[in-house]
Structure 1
């Protein structure tokens, strides 16, 4: 069965085989040597409530589920490290993922090769790609130049976000010697070009200044637009959303690598920039 898993620290390959998704990071597959990082101690984190600031229905993000099945969402070309071919992502009419089509992969994938969709740019190093937030197909690719599959497999869960355009790069990985699958060496990368409308057109982030429930540090660009915010102990969801004029759903959209109570934790940086969605910095 095809599996897509989100990278997460401190999970075994056996656990990965039983889960389609874990919502804070990809689980290393068997033979994977990528490093793992634990979350900060929970006793040092102040989690927010999720529903204290309700979204405006007119400004609520739309979804790829509203696009006609077969609509091309993104395309990319593999053209480095001696490998060529194309990738295409197509809507499947559901909010739980999309169809992936690989064509003309040359040389054809070898046994154990895995496809990953990574938030880091295609120019990132192997080490940075290993740490980037991503989705990957748990089962190895077929050893053919042309193939298609659904991401994720029906019945195994959905994406953390309704808008996957933060996934910047398709990566073909080769496993370590003797491993059935895994992420040892980059075989090829393909920068993804997304063909999506603005799925959150009502989003405007403005820093109204520190106030009760939002006393953390904000980093702004030269024009005064907020780029990121460091959560302070004692902050509340009402305070933070009011400070920046956004909803909790907006914050989830801006931070697709966070899930549940991990969205807003004390002393963590919260992304507020459209351009930096999915990046870990």
Structure 2
């Protein structure tokens, strides 16, 4: 979700002071008896869900050898006056790092780099963005950014962006562009598909998987069709939802790298889950 300019400034300001969002806490309340209702659950923490960095479930801990370049791009502003080169390499332990170089700009200012599922020029804060890192006008861009929070299959992140960040102490009223995407670079990944034969089938609803299913055109499916998305109902758990669609929990989580799950396995209610590998 993208917020207002005020929300953007507040959140990025938090990043500037070094407070990174690290996950979600469980909700309060009694969840002992699942019910097939559609009452929205409230995320009391306000924190950003993050993928499990240890989840590489295709039988290997490492997708590619350490040091392998798996993506490379230049994030460039519309004017071409601000840009940075980004190269993503495999790190030890099955995760990845982004190596930054050749940062240049004609207007030095506090700058934020982050990796997003999708982006366009002028976008505001994206709560699914990961690896947010800020530097000041009198400092060089960092040489390396840790992408471990994107998990062991970070190719769900399609864009890297530069966003002018709040100064933290100064008046930014003369910088109305603070918090908006200034530069974008598309990431083309070279990571092996952990589930090349993944096939999602439409199953009947059941306790623990009461939600609605939709095809790619947004039409609700009941008895037939190709499922594309799933709307989580109250009481749905990841085990039963995976079984409903004929896939494993690992495959469900790979399809939905930012899926929010309570400690007991219940999925956050009214979440829309992706069921199409092509739109991961």
TM-score bucket (shorter structure)? 0.5 to 0.7
Question: Alignment partner for residue 264 of structure 1, among 259, 264, 267?
Answer: 267
TM-aligned CA deviation for residue 18 of structure 1 = 6.3
Query: Residue 114 of structure 1 corresponds to which residue in structure 2?
Result: 112
SS at match of 2:185: strand
User: Within the alignment, does 1:70 sit opposite 2:73 as a pair?
Assistant: no
Q: Which deviates further from its counterpart, 13-22 or 109-118? A: 13-22
The answer on whether the counterparts of 2:113 and 2:162 sit within 8 Å (CA) in structure 1 is: yes
What is the alpha-carbon distance in structure 1 between the residues aligned to residue 78 and residue 272 of structure 2?
Answer: 35
Query: Residue 276 of structure 2 corresponds to which residue in structure 1?
Result: 273
Query: Residue 196 of structure 1 corresponds to which residue in structure 2?
Result: 191
The C-alpha deviation readout for 1:196-231, integer Å capped at 9, x for no partner, is 111333432111232343222101237933211112
Change beyond 3 A, Cα 1:69–1:183: farther
What is the alpha-carbon distance in structure 2 between the residues aligned to residue 192 and residue 258 of structure 1?
Answer: 22
SS at match of 1:126: coil
Query: Residue 235 of structure 1 corresponds to which residue in structure 2?
Result: 236
Query: Residue 98 of structure 1 corresponds to which residue in structure 2?
Result: 97
Q: Which deviates further from its counterpart, 142-151 or 254-263? A: 142-151
RMSD: 3.9
Change beyond 3 A, Cα 1:183–1:89: farther
Change beyond 3 A, Cα 1:142–1:163: farther
Could you say which structure has the larger radius of gyration? 2
What is the alpha-carbon distance in structure 2 between the residues aligned to residue 137 and residue 193 of structure 1?
Answer: 20
The C-alpha deviation readout for 1:78-105, integer Å capped at 9, x for no partner, is 34322344211111222343142323x3
What is the alpha-carbon distance in structure 2 between the residues aligned to residue 86 and residue 14 of structure 1?
Answer: 25
Query: Residue 78 of structure 2 corresponds to which residue in structure 1?
Result: 81
Query: Residue 256 of structure 2 corresponds to which residue in structure 1?
Result: 255
TM-aligned CA deviation for residue 139 of structure 1 = 3.7
Change beyond 3 A, Cα 1:11–1:169: closer
Counting matched residue pairs gives 233
- Segments of 5+ residues of structure 2 without an aligned counterpart are 1-7, 25-39, 45-54, 218-223
TM-aligned CA deviation for residue 109 of structure 1 = 7.8
Question: Alignment partner for residue 152 of structure 2, among 162, 165, 185?
Answer: 162
Change beyond 3 A, Cα 1:255–1:11: same
Change beyond 3 A, Cα 1:137–1:160: closer
TM-aligned CA deviation for residue 16 of structure 1 = 8.2
What is the alpha-carbon distance in structure 2 between the residues aligned to residue 179 and residue 199 of structure 1?
Answer: 46
SS at match of 2:259: coil
* TM-score using structure 1 length: 0.66
The answer on whether the counterparts of 2:134 and 2:165 sit within 8 Å (CA) in structure 1 is: no
Change beyond 3 A, Cα 1:234–1:145: closer
Change beyond 3 A, Cα 1:226–1:146: same
- Segments of 5+ residues of structure 1 without an aligned counterpart are 1-7, 25-38, 44-54, 153-157
The answer on whether the counterparts of 2:117 and 2:157 sit within 8 Å (CA) in structure 1 is: yes
